[in-house]
A and B are shown apart, each in its own frame.
Chain A
Amino acid sequence: MSTTFDTPTKTTGRSVATLALIVRRNIWTLGLIGILVLLVVVTKIIQPSYGPAGIQGLAISVLPLALAAVAQTCAVLARGIDLSIGSMMALTSVVSATLMADRSESFAIIVVIGVLVLGLILGAVNGALVVFTRVPDIVVTLAMLFVWAGAALLVLNTPGGGSAQWLSALTRGPLFSQWVPRAAVALLVIVGIIWIPIRRSRLGISLYAVGSDPLAAFRSGVSVSRTKIFSYMLAGLFSAMAGLSLTATTGIGTPVPGPYTLMSVAAVVLGGVSLAGGTGGVFGPIVAVVILSLLRTDMTFLNVDTNLATVVQGLILVGVVMVGSLIQMRRRET
């Protein structure tokens, strides 16, 4: 198609076409960013004093959930689902906090690396169980939710332990400008270093292939089992990072971290990743997490009852996904 352009306009034609393609491919994420901008404006209106401090707080509260959402995305893209993300976060958080408490700053580096490897192992166990037992993903990871949660409580019964100074410093405070929170930079760097190279590799393509059509992927020479295990290992890795970020931001290990698993599923859905697998990316869910958190903040500003706020959050989730799907269907028809 693009080859039909004349030579002088060829390059501009190409770049316009490429830009249009990028917009078309990421329309959902762009829509979410639009909603986010709107939400920021609303926040500024109802709370004129909302500024750098608010953004700092938002970034810190978003970081663990955003990483959990990325973890969930990895599992869902390959047509799986990981219900053990919250428990893996708990386990990695308490392990890191226990090992780092009262130890040297340099020892913490080893701990961080060890915990990331632990995350990979936990994920590999999940994935291997799914692949080799042929028990449905949702059942395996539900079972492992209890296993990892119990293990976390065995390690540390009550919140405790500690975090290395440098680790906490990575997530707290601003960077360069007071408007840029370190937690946000950390998130983008982590995702940038790990996700983008994977996305472009054959392994990343396999992830989408297995999620989109496992049979066609198999016939194209993809090892479906290996890809599936890999997707759960990625989920484990990002869960470990989410666990570490919990330790880093709070300074202690938390054995019972909160409703991260279900929130991660919500963020994935809102972020435009199909639960049937194969479509979407990690940035949609990250933006979705920010939207969900900011929404909560706004409702606190408006003095909405917290329980009612949860109800509203749920309704918005359904509403956005419904309207979004309707718009997509319309576009496909025309």
Chain B
Amino acid sequence: MSQGNNGYLLEATGVSKRYGAVVALESASLRVLPGEVHALMGANGAGKSTLVKILTGGVRPDSGVIRVRGKDRKIHSPAEARRGGLVSVYQEPAVIPDLDVSSNLRLTQTPVEPFRHWIQELGLQSIDLTRKARELPLATLRIIDLARALAIEPDVLMLDEMTAALPANLTESVLEVVNDLRGGVRCTIFISHRMTEIASVCDRATVLREGETVGVVDVADADSADRIVELMLGEIAEDMAEMAEHPATSHRADGERPRIEVRNLAAHVRLRDVSLKLYPGEVLGVVALEGQGQDELFDILSGAERPASGEFLVDGNEAILRHPADAIRKGIVFVPADRAEALLMQRPVRDNIALPFSAPLRKWGPIRTREEKPKVDKAIDRLQIDTRAQREVRFLSGGNQQKVTIARWVATGLETMLCFDPTRGIDIRTKHQIYPLLRELAEAGAAILLYTSELSEIQLACDRAIVIFGGEVVAEIPAGDADEATLLRAAHNLSSDAPLPEEVLAAAHGTDEGQEDAEMSER
């Protein structure tokens, strides 16, 4: 390998990082030219964020060489990276909540005037520097974080999912600013899940898969998007195509009694009037934009909250649930989106799965380990949980954590499972293990209610879907007809033949934008 810089501004080669048994990065490389906006792509858990953290000193690599302008650099802390001209805007804003904006600027020694300039460029009118960061909305904090990074004119600017939490108008101005950065002497590394954004501002894309760099794609090429997806997914792409060809079919026998039936359920302000029937043997999808009452619905069904009015029948009998324990006793179990709500993060995988039987509800006495072990083993095996990290659950990846949450109920044998966006923030590989699992459980006779924010999941996992809007069920769609456009129309409460507004079309590329547009169309 030559010592020369080959014209690269930033050159990282052979970067690896392990956390115990979990490999986050395995010989990743990244080469960025001056004046370039370079996309870093990969499925969740591919190692993008770890690579960015290594480049900015937040995490120390186990091995690898990092060169900036041809010179070897050892980066030990974010402060050092900052001095060396490498600055990142992380997924979670690095703004101190208890300090006001001007103190936050002083903390990073950011000059105020350029900061103000960038704030305006980025589409915020003006900003009150005496406000505490805690009092500002997340989108504003992200813009502050970005403006603060731009103000010190770093050689390498890294944006990790910068647009994820932004409303559409701010996203646009951020993309404009990033686009203007092209062609200078500095460079930008841009991480985003949204292909349209990559296509509009990036020059080249480096794709990571399972911690390895698997390819570099020129974004200007005609088939670049397909190439990127192909590289990101590896062999999974084929599985997915195969699955899409076999849409789920209903196993519901006609005339059967519903496992769960609710009539005219209402709670708080958001849940106004929801009726639904969930039959054994089916996966019923729930589709709704953010905050349409689905949170309250799941809270009620899982026994965490009580409805203000309405009927709730389990197996045809009136059910009054005072506590999640009541629901579990009736065979209704809940898988939340946030794994931390369900798992004991500091306990091993085994303990977590065994919890429902080692801690039988409101029963005391010694634990029967002998009965417990085979069941736990079976569940681990069935869900293919990565137990290399035999230690605590918090060291597992998000996908594996979610599998543990499901495995615990699979091990006990379940009748009804309520899944609230169970695939949120987990990698595509695990997602494609979870869908067939849900189907298998349904085929074995379980009733499954699945709320998802990813519309494509409805056809992959469900028999039919209901759509909730404004706290009421506005549509019921069989899975066969539930393509993304149809669901999106229904979720915005538009009639199926109404023309799809342009902003809604654009939103099909990302759910976050979808929510934002939804708010606008309501006004």
Residue in A1, A3, A216, A279 whose CB lies within 8 Å of B93? A216
Residue in A2, A21, A208, A220 whose CB lies within 8 Å of B94? A220
Does B235 have its Cβ within 8 Å of any Cβ on chain A?
no
User: B79, B96, B106 — which one has the most chain A CB atoms within 10 A of its CB?
Assistant: B96
Bound complex: CA A139 to CA B94 (Å) = 29
Does B90 have its Cβ within 8 Å of any Cβ on chain A?
yes
Check B77 against A208 for contact (C-beta < 8 Å): no
Check A223 against B77 for contact (C-beta < 8 Å): yes
Stretch among B97-105, B221-229, B295-303 lining the A interface: B97-105
Chain B residues within 8 Å of A1, by CB: 126, 128
Bound complex: CA A221 to CA B56 (Å) = 10
User: B58, B82, B103, B109 — which one has the most chain A CB atoms within 10 A of its CB?
Assistant: B103
Does B361 have its Cβ within 8 Å of any Cβ on chain A?
no
0/1 string, B85-97, CB within 8 A of A gives 1 = 0001010111111
Check A216 against B95 for contact (C-beta < 8 Å): yes
- Of chain B, the residue at the smallest CB distance from A77 is B98
Chain A residues within 8 Å of B104, by CB: 220
Check A219 against B97 for contact (C-beta < 8 Å): no
The B interface, classified by DSSP as helix, strand, loop or mixed, is loop
Which residues between 159 and 180 of chain B lie within 8 Å of chain A, taking CB atoms? none
Check A217 against B108 for contact (C-beta < 8 Å): no
Chain A residues within 8 Å of B109, by CB: 202, 221
- Of chain B, the residue at the smallest CB distance from A4 is B126
Does A222 have its Cβ within 8 Å of any Cβ on chain B?
yes
The A interface, classified by DSSP as helix, strand, loop or mixed, is helix
Bound complex: CA A2 to CA B130 (Å) = 10
Check B58 against A218 for contact (C-beta < 8 Å): yes
Bound complex: CA A223 to CA B78 (Å) = 9
Q: How far is the CB of B373 from chain A (nearest CB, A)?
A: 34
Check A212 against B99 for contact (C-beta < 8 Å): yes
Residue in B56, B82, B94, B106 whose CB lies within 8 Å of A216? B94
- Of chain A, the residue at the smallest CB distance from B94 is A219
Chain A residues within 8 Å of B108, by CB: 220-221
Does A249 have its Cβ within 8 Å of any Cβ on chain B?
no
Q: How far is the CB of B254 from chain A (nearest CB, A)?
A: 50
Does A213 have its Cβ within 8 Å of any Cβ on chain B?
yes
Chain A residues within 8 Å of B82, by CB: 221
Residue in A209, A218, A219 whose CB lies within 8 Å of B99? A209
User: Contact residue range for chain B?
Assistant: 20 to 34
Does B185 have its Cβ within 8 Å of any Cβ on chain A?
no
Chain A residues within 8 Å of B107, by CB: 202, 205-206, 209, 217, 220-222
Residue in A205, A212, A218 whose CB lies within 8 Å of B106? A205
0/1 string, A203-232, CB within 8 A of B gives 1 = 001101101110111111111000000000
Say whether, besides A2-B128, A216-B93, A221-B108, A205 and B99 are in contact (CB < 8 Å).
Answer: yes
Q: How far is the CB of A271 from chain B (nearest CB, A)?
A: 16
Bound complex: CA A212 to CA B106 (Å) = 16
Check B98 against A211 for contact (C-beta < 8 Å): yes
Say whether, besides A1-B128, A205-B106, A209-B107, A218 and B78 are in contact (CB < 8 Å).
Answer: yes
Check A221 against B79 for contact (C-beta < 8 Å): yes
Total A-B pairs in contact (CB under 8 Å)?
Answer: 69
Q: How far is the CB of A328 from chain B (nearest CB, A)?
A: 12
Q: How far is the CB of B124 from chain A (nearest CB, A)?
A: 13
Which residues between 120 and 137 of chain B lie within 8 Å of chain A, taking CB atoms? 126, 128, 130
Check B78 against A208 for contact (C-beta < 8 Å): no
Bound complex: CA A217 to CA B97 (Å) = 10
Bound complex: CA A202 to CA B107 (Å) = 6
- Of chain B, the residue at the smallest CB distance from A201 is B106
Chain B residues within 8 Å of A211, by CB: 98
Does A278 have its Cβ within 8 Å of any Cβ on chain B?
yes
User: A2, A211, A216 — which one has the most chain B CB atoms within 10 A of its CB?
Assistant: A216
Check B99 against A208 for contact (C-beta < 8 Å): yes
Bound complex: CA A209 to CA B109 (Å) = 14
Q: How far is the CB of B269 from chain A (nearest CB, A)?
A: 15
Q: How far is the CB of B522 from chain A (nearest CB, A)?
A: 24
Check A213 against B97 for contact (C-beta < 8 Å): yes
Say whether, besides A206-B107, A221-B108, A222-B107, A278 and B97 are in contact (CB < 8 Å).
Answer: yes
Q: How far is the CB of B368 from chain A (nearest CB, A)?
A: 36
Q: How far is the CB of A77 from chain B (nearest CB, A)?
A: 10
Bound complex: CA A278 to CA B103 (Å) = 13
Check A220 against B103 for contact (C-beta < 8 Å): no
- Of chain A, the residue at the smallest CB distance from B53 is A219
Say whether, besides A2-B128, A220-B107, A220-B108, A208 and B98 are in contact (CB < 8 Å).
Answer: yes
Say whether, besides A219-B90, A222-B107, A208 and B96 are in contact (CB < 8 Å).
Answer: yes
User: A208, A213, A219, A278 — which one has the most chain B CB atoms within 10 A of its CB?
Assistant: A219
Check A212 against B78 for contact (C-beta < 8 Å): no
- Of chain A, the residue at the smallest CB distance from B93 is A216
- Of chain A, the residue at the smallest CB distance from B82 is A221
Check A212 against B98 for contact (C-beta < 8 Å): yes
Say whether, besides A1-B128, A216-B93, A202 and B99 are in contact (CB < 8 Å).
Answer: no
Chain A residues within 8 Å of B88, by CB: 219
- Of chain A, the residue at the smallest CB distance from B134 is A212
Residue in B93, B97, B130 whose CB lies within 8 Å of A21? B130
Which residues between 176 and 220 of chain A lie within 8 Å of chain B, taking CB atoms? 202, 205-206, 208-209, 211-213, 215-220
Q: How far is the CB of A113 from chain B (nearest CB, A)?
A: 32
Check A222 against B98 for contact (C-beta < 8 Å): no
User: A208, A213, A217, A222 — which one has the most chain B CB atoms within 10 A of its CB?
Assistant: A213
Chain B residues within 8 Å of A2, by CB: 128
Bound complex: CA A220 to CA B96 (Å) = 9
Say whether, besides A219-B58, A220-B78, A222-B107, A3 and B96 are in contact (CB < 8 Å).
Answer: no
Bound complex: CA A209 to CA B133 (Å) = 11
Chain B residues within 8 Å of A278, by CB: 96-98
Chain A residues within 8 Å of B99, by CB: 205, 208-209, 212
Q: How far is the CB of A212 from chain B (nearest CB, A)?
A: 4
0/1 string, A244-269, CB within 8 A of B gives 1 = 00000000000000000000000000
Bound complex: CA A188 to CA B77 (Å) = 38
Chain A residues within 8 Å of B58, by CB: 218-219
Residue in A202, A209, A223 whose CB lies within 8 Å of B96? A209
Chain A residues within 8 Å of B95, by CB: 216, 220
0/1 string, B382-418, CB within 8 A of A gives 1 = 0000000000000000000000000000000000000
Bound complex: CA A202 to CA B77 (Å) = 18
What is A's interface to B at a CB cutoff of 8 Å? 1-3, 21, 202, 205-206, 208-209, 211-213, 215-223, 278-279
Q: List 12 A-B contacts (CB under 8 A).
A: A205-B103, A208-B98, A211-B98, A212-B97, A219-B58, A219-B88, A219-B94, A220-B78, A220-B94, A220-B96, A223-B79, A278-B98
Known: A213-B96, A213-B97. 9 other contacts (CB 8 A): A21-B130, A202-B106, A208-B96, A211-B98, A212-B98, A213-B98, A216-B94, A223-B79, A279-B98
